[in-house]
């Protein structure tokens, strides 16, 4: 009986796929998904678009905050935060969005968001703040000659 149980256990272990242990690397995301976080600032005809790319969290929120603060400080009339390139956003990112929205309302700047993935959208829904924020579709043409000082390399 003991030998029978050992055989079953050994066969079961051998039958398990060894993914995630270096034997079969396919379950791991492609290397480009681990690319460093970056923020692009793109001039538009009527303002500027800030595009965080990667994961917006405690470690990266200050980069986005600096770009948005620069736009507000320069008196840009329309600031768009495009969330479509985010893979992840935590409560730090949500706090940033709410702070920027309040700052924009106080300073007379139009601050709008372009919705991200369903996971990013869910964060706004769970916090029950979607109704107080301005979301739009990506239908505005971009003007590469305007606000060239904002473009990052």
Over residues 42-94, the pLDDT tens digits come to 999 889 999 999 999 999 999 999 999 999 999 999 999 999 999 999 999 99
Task: Provide, rounded to the nearest whole percent, the portion of the chain with pLDDT above 70.
Answer: 68
Q: Which two tokens stand for residue 1?
A: 């009986």
Ramachandran category for residue 110: left, alpha or beta (phi over 0 → left; psi -120 to 50 → alpha): beta
All structural domains of the chain, each given as residue ranges with its CATH number in brackets, are: 34-150 (3.30.750.24)
CA angle 53, 55, 59 (to 5 degrees): 115
From CA 57, how far away is CA 72, in angstroms rounded?
Answer: 21
From CA 135, how far away is CA 101, in angstroms rounded?
Answer: 11
**Structure pTM?**
0.70
Per-residue pLDDT averaged across 26-32, rounded? 51
């Amino acid at each position: 009986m003991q030998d029978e149980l050992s055989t079953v256990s050994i066969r079961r272990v051998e039958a398990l796929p060894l993914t995630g242990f270096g034997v079969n690397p396919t379950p791991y995301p492609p290397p480009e998904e681990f690319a460093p976080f970056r923020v692009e600032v793109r001039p538009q005809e009527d303002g500027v678009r800030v595009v965080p790319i990667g994961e917006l969290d405690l470690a990266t929120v200050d980069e986005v905050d600096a770009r948005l603060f620069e736009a507000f400080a320069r008196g840009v009339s329309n600031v768009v935060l495009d969330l479509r390139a985010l893979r992840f956003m935590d409560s730090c990112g949500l706090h940033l969005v709410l702070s920027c929205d309040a700052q924009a309302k106080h300073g007379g700047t139009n601050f709008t968001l372009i919705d991200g993935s369903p996971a990013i959208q869910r964060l706004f829904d769970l916090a029950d703040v979607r109704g107080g924020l301005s979301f739009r579709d990506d239908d505005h043409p971009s003007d590469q000659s305007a606000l060239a000082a904002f473009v990052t390399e």
